[in-house]
Structure 1
Amino acid sequence: MFRKLSKAASRLPTSAGVSSRQHLSSVRKFSFNSAARQCYSHRNKPCLVLAPHCTYHNRQLSVLSTKIGLLQQSRPSSFKTFHDGQTQAINFSKHYRLLWARHTARDFSSQSKLSEDVEAKLDVEDLLENINKKIIFVNDDIVAINKPYGLSVFGSSPPSVNSDKPATTFVGMLSHLKDKLNCSYLDVGLSLKSFYSGLVILCKNKNSKKQMEKVLAGAQAQKIQFKTYLVITVGVPQCSHGVDLTANIAREHLHNREMSTVSDKYIHTAAKEGTMMQTHFNVQPLAVNSSVGAALVQVTINKDKWEAVEVIMSHYLSPVLGDHIYSRRTQLIRGIPFAASAHASLPGPQILPQTIVEALQSREDCVEKDLPLFVHCHKVVLNKFPTKSSPPLIITAPPQEEFLTTLKCLGLYQEGMFP
Structure 2
Amino acid sequence: MELSALLRSAAMARSSSPCWHWLCGRRSPQAPFSARACFSSCRYQMLQKQRGLEKPVAEGSSRVSILGPAQPLGREELLRLLEASLVHAEGDLVAISKPSGLPVAGKPGELTLLSLLTDLSQKLGLPENLQVIKAAGKETSGLVLLSSCQDTIQHLQDFYVQCRKAGQPEITYCAVTTRIPAALEGEVRTGLKLMQVEDCELVVPVASPSRNSLQRKEVKNTLTRFKVLDSCNGCALLQLQPLTAFPKQLLVHLTLILSPVLGDHVYSSRVGTVLGEPFLLPAESTLPRVQVLDNFLLDKLQLQQQQVHRLPLHLHLHQLLLPAASPSSSSMVLTAPPPSFFLQTLHLLGLTLPQDPDRQ
TM-score normalized by structure 2?
A: 0.73
Q: Where in structure 2 are the equivalents of 1:123-272 lying within 5 Å?
A: 123=76, 126-154=77-105, 156-159=106-109, 168-179=111-122, 180-238=124-182, 240-272=183-215
Aligned to 1:299: 240
CA contact (8 A) 2:226 2:238 kept: yes
Q: State the identity %.
A: 26
Structure 1 Cα separation of the partners of residues 334 and 304 of structure 2: 32
**Matches of 1:274 and 1:325, distance apart in 2:** 24
Contact preservation (8 Å) 1:174, 1:187: no
What is the CA–CA distance in structure 2 between the aligned matches of 1:415 and 1:366, rounded to whole Å?
Answer: 32
- Residue 322 of structure 1 and its aligned partner are, at CA, apart by 1.0
Matched residue count: 289
Cα–Cα, structure 1 residues 391 and 416, in superposed 2: closer, same or farther, change >3 Å?
closer
- Residues 351, 168 of structure 1: CA spacing in aligned structure 2 closer, same or farther, 3 A cutoff? same
Which stretches in structure 1 are left out of the alignment for 5+ residues? 1-113, 160-166
* SS of residue paired to 1:119: coil
* Mapped contact 1:151–1:195 kept (Cα < 8 A): yes
CA distance in 2, matches of 1:345, 1:270: 23
- In structure 2, the gaps of 5 or more residues are 1-67
Contact 2:272 2:279 in 1 (8 A): yes
Pick one of 277, 282, 291 that aligns with 2:225. Answer: 282
Contact 2:93 2:148 in 1 (8 A): yes
Alpha-carbon separation, structure 2, partners of 1:295 and 1:173: 35
- Is the alpha carbon distance of 1:258 and 1:277 closer, same or farther for their aligned partners in structure 2, counting shifts above 3 Å? same
- 1:259 and 1:417 map into 2 onto residues whose CA distance is 34
**Aligned with 1:119 (options 73, 80, 88):** 73
**Aligned alpha-carbon RMSD (Å):** 2.6
CA distance in 2, matches of 1:417, 1:388: 24
1:18-417 matches, cutoff 5 A: 117-120=71-74, 122-123=75-76, 126-154=77-105, 156-159=106-109, 168-179=111-122, 180-238=124-182, 240-289=183-232, 292-361=233-302, 367-383=307-323, 391-413=330-352
- The secondary structure found in structure 2 opposite 1:261 is strand
TM-score when scaled to structure 1?
0.63
**For 1:371 and 1:212, how far apart are their aligned partners in 2?**
34
Report the structure number with the largest CA radius of gyration: 1
**Structure 1 residues 118, 343: closer, same or farther in 2, change over 3 A?**
closer
Q: 1:365 to 1:409 in 2, by over 3 A?
A: farther
Q: 2-side partners of 1:138 and 1:225: how far apart?
A: 23
Q: Deviations over 1:9-37 (max 9, x none)?
A: xxxxxxxxxxxxxxxxxxxxxxxxxxxxx
